[in-house]
Amino acid sequence: MTREPKITFIGAGSTVFMKNIIGDVLQRPALSAATIALMDLNPERLAESEIVAGKLVRTLGVKAKVETYSNQLKALEGADFVVVAFQIGGYEPCTVTDFEVPKNYGLRQTIADTLGVGGIMRGLRTVPHLWKICEDMLAVCPEAILLQYVNPMAINTWAIAEKYPTIRQVGLCHSVQGTAFELARDLEIPLEEIRYRAAGINHMAFYLKFEHRQKDGSYRDLYPDLIRGYREGRFPKPSHWNPRCPNKVRYEMLTRLGYFVTESSEHFAEYTPYFIKDGRPDLIEKFGIPLDEYPKRCIEQIERWKGQAAAFKEAETIEVAESHEYASSIMNSVWTGEPSVIYGNLRNNGCITSLPENCAAEVPCLVDASGIQPTYVGALPPQLTALIRTNINVQELTVQALVTENRDHLYHAAMMDPHTAAELDLDQIWSLVDDLLVAHRDWIPEWARVSKKVQAA
């Protein structure tokens, strides 16, 4: 291509995340002269991001241009790639609400950003804003690729495909490559010697193959080693990043299902009915389940990000290390035609034949000048399909609520959630959803708003 790409960041006030993605992008020769358009509604955070992005450009000695916008439509004009990273309602008040209100019913959570009542409410807050981005993209950059880094990933991706099917989108997570690193660390095998193939839905994909390349070029199945190490008490090794979060839930499920799930144990514990139960502190102790983990993590991250952002502002130059995010790889492949493989979340469209056509599937994707092309997986093992469907039920009903503006489906979604249904009766579920809709009134669409007085009448 003769012109340089334009890359727009919506939610650019996420300074540290933005810095990682831009650092990756600017180290790619074909992208190093890109126009970087930063958009955020918070002027202070936007200004911080502009300073950091400018220092990245100077540190790397590239010709990229940095522009800032408070107007989303203008930021999107002529964009080739759109990176989205925001949290509607923030840690306070919305994340706090998603944890504290369910506690009144004895419903405890660990992360609450993907499934469960927390994930449902987060989807309700988030999807309308993603839809507005899609609407603006159709107006000013209809061929751009939307790289979406927002939870609840599966609900978001599904909802975009339902309402804006022509938008070229992919939901991006780092759980597949991140967990591969963790398992390689447990096994003490270099990651580059491991071959894997994973598929499922976001946060509930499984490694269908996890193998070690041998000196003769053949591959050896590593699952027997992982199961043996767990049963002998050698795995999981202590976490390299968060001592509150041991990996026991996933190893236990490996012994029951025969496959290892790609998202963390603290996430997986609340996607199933087996691990968090009122009156069962023995389970919490046995599997090291970190209740209320996400609020603790948010507080720590906010403080860490403040410190990092301040350090970036003061520094003359900024160290640029390659991250493990897929964004720059996708952009480079689309822009140059040089192929790459990523794990992405897109409309299933028959890639996983045992899951619904319209669900959001996470599968290996080929990326080249034609865009992001998901690969065919076929049917998953029946036990994995069955477990994944329990999560898809919640996602589908949440998306139906959003698309049809039918509030009843929010209650139905909560009814179908494995963890919620295992803990609460129907009256409690209805009442809890009402309480959350009242608490989130300022952050959700008008059709979803409810008051206790109206509901009781």
In degrees and rounded to multiples of 5, residue 364 shows phi and psi of: -65, 140
Residue ranges of the annotated binding site are 151, 173, 203
Beta partners for residue 340, in sequence order: 367
240 is catalytic: no
Domains along the chain? 6-92+109-171 (3.40.50.720), 392-443 (no CATH)
Other CB atoms within a 10 A radius of the CB of residue 42 amount to 13
What percent of the chain clears pLDDT 70, i.e. is strictly above it?
98
Token pair 């991006």 is found at: 172
- DSSP class of residue 261 equals B
Backbone angles phi, psi at 435, to 5 degrees: -60, -40
pLDDT digits over 362-416, tens only? 999 999 999 999 999 999 999 999 999 999 999 999 999 999 999 999 999 999 9
Per the annotation, binding residues for substrate are: 151
For residues 2-23, average pLDDT: 89
Tell me how far apart the alpha carbons of residues 112 and 152 are, in angstroms, rounded to a whole number.
9
Q: What is the pLDDT of residue 452?
A: 64
Query: Which pLDDT tens digit goes with each residue over 56-80?
Result: 999 999 999 999 999 999 999 999 9
Among 174, 324, 419, 440, the one annotated catalytic: 174
Q: Is the pLDDT of residue 1 over 70?
A: no
| pLDDT tens readout for residues 228-248 | 999 999 999 999 999 999 999
Question: Packing angle between helix 382-404 and helix 116-140, nearest 10 degrees?
Answer: 60
Query: φ and ψ at 39, to 5 degrees?
Result: -125, 130
Structure-token pair, residue 394: 């919640």
Q: Quick: pLDDT tens for 314-365.
A: 888 888 888 889 999 999 999 999 999 999 999 999 999 999 999 999 999 9
Strands 340-347 and 204-213: unpaired
Q: Which residues are annotated as a binding site for Mn(2+)?
A: 173, 203
Asked if residues 329 and 342 have their Cβ atoms less than 8 Å apart, the reply is yes
Supply angle C-alpha 286, 292, 296, rounded to 5. 115
Q: How far apart are CA 120 and CA 111, in angstroms?
A: 13
Tell which residue, 77, 308, 299, 343, has the closest CA to residue 197.
343
